[in-house]
Structure formats: C-alpha cells, structure tokens
Structure 1
Amino acid sequence: MVSTVSEGVKVSVETFYQPDYSNPLAGEFMFAYRITIENNNSFPIKLLRRHWHIFDSNGTYREVEGEGVVGVQPGLQPGERYQYVSGCNLRTEMGKMHGTYQMENQHSKETFEVAIPVFEMMVPFKMN
C-alpha cells in the first residue's frame, strides 16, 4: 500500500492483479485498486473530480478525467474515511498510475487539489 497526505487529505492505494479478467496472450492485463480517502481537516469536503495519468511499461500513456469516482461525488466530514474499488486495464504486465482529486471545502466552497500517490500495477510472476 502507498499513501500520501496533501491539503489535509490522506489518500492510500492498494492494487490487485485480476487474472480472471486478464488475457496475457492477447496483451490484456486487468488490475483492481482500492482507494481510501481520509479527511483530516477541520471542515467537511466533497470530491468533485478525478484526473488520472496511466503508464504502461511499453511507454503508452493515457489520461482519464471526469466527475467523481465510481459514479459518486462523496462527501467526508472531518475524521471520516471513504473507500472505493475501481479498475484499470494495461497492455503490458506492469504499469503505474497517479493523479489528483479536485475537492471542495463544504464551508467556504473553495476548491483544492489533492494528490493521489504513484502506485504500481504488476502481475505477480513479474515480482520474482
């Protein structure tokens, strides 16, 4: 698991290779990732948008951005955590992702960026 704290928000990521949804012979490798967001601020926040940078080990780069995460824009009171699971497909056995969340301070309505740490996705047989 990797974690980072920015703007009073802790973001932690765990990754999982999904062999049942992968087809290595066709160059299709599916990964799931579990993200935990913790609001360590003294004010409530709302996650408005996400922006991902995705890299395959063959040099391919993609960006994905949009509203919320997994179809919701969660709000977190001070001290609360929110967790979700999503997925990413790669064309190679290894890759990495990082990004940002756009958050809103629910008291002042000001927006701010929260960093999502770099995390690696790697099929288990590559770890040896």
Structure 2
Amino acid sequence: MVQQVTEGVSITVETFYQPEQSNPLNSDYLFAYRITIENFSSVPVKLLRRHWHIIDSNGNHRQVEGEGVVGAQPILESGEAYQYVSAASLRSDMGKMYGDYQMENLYNKKLFSVTIPEFELVAPFKMN
C-alpha cells in the first residue's frame, strides 16, 4: 500500500492480482487497485479528471485520461473520503502505475493537481 498527500488531499492505493481473469499463456495479466481519496483540507473539493501512466516490465507505456473515476466525479467535504476499485491489464507479470487527478476547490473554483503515487503491480508468483 502506498500513500501521498497533495494540498491536503490524500491518495492511498492497494493492489490485487486477479489470477482468475488473467491468462499468462497469452501475456495477459489483470490487476485490480483500490483507491481511497481523503480530503484533509478545510474546503470541499471535486474530482474532475484522471490521468494515468501504465507501464509494464516489457517497456510498454500507455496513458489513460478521462473525466472522473469509474463514472463519477465525487465531491468530498472536509474530512470525507471516497473509495473506488478499478483495474488495469498488463502484457507482463510486473509493472507500475502513477498519475494525477485534476481537482477543483469548490470555494474559490481554482483547479489543482493531486498526485497519485507510483505503485507496483506484481503477480504473487514473481515474489518467490
């Protein structure tokens, strides 16, 4: 599990290899990740966009951008948290992800970026 706080917004990431949805013979490895976003600032914030970098151990690098997360643009009041689960498919049994969320301070309407800390995606059989 990794965590990082940017401008009072905490991002925590947990990862889970999905063996039942992976096919190593076809170089297809699925990893789920749980993101917890906590607003430790004194103002309400809204998550507008996401930008991901997804890199596997073969050197493949792709980027994913879009509105919100899993179909939502959550608003977090001071002290609130939001959690979601999503997944990424890799062409190798190891990789990493990182990125950022574009957030809006709902008091002054200013946009700011919140860092999603880099986290590793590793199939458990690679840990031996």
Normalised by the size of structure 1, how large is the TM-score? Answer: 0.99
1:30-69 alignment, distance < 5 Å: 30-69=30-69
What's 2:26 paired with? 26
* Structure 1 ranges of 4+ moved more than 2 A: none
What's 2:77 paired with? 77
Distance 1:120 1:86 in 2: 15
Distance 1:46 1:72 in 2: 10
- Amino acid aligned to 1:18: Q
> How much has 1:49 moved relative to structure 2?
0.1
Distance 1:76 1:127 in 2: 37
Report the secondary structure of 1:107's partner residue: coil
Q: CA RMSD in A?
A: 0.4
- Amino acid aligned to 2:88: C
Report the secondary structure of 2:25's partner residue: helix
What's 1:107 paired with? 107
Distance 1:7 1:102 in 2: 12
- Amino acid aligned to 1:75: I
User: Is there any run of 5+ residues in structure 2 with no aligned partner, and where?
Assistant: none
- Amino acid aligned to 2:83: Q
User: Is there any run of 5+ residues in structure 1 with no aligned partner, and where?
Assistant: none
What's 2:15 paired with? 15
Distance 1:42 1:119 in 2: 28
> How much has 1:53 moved relative to structure 2?
0.5
> How much has 1:54 moved relative to structure 2?
0.6
What's 2:93 paired with? 93
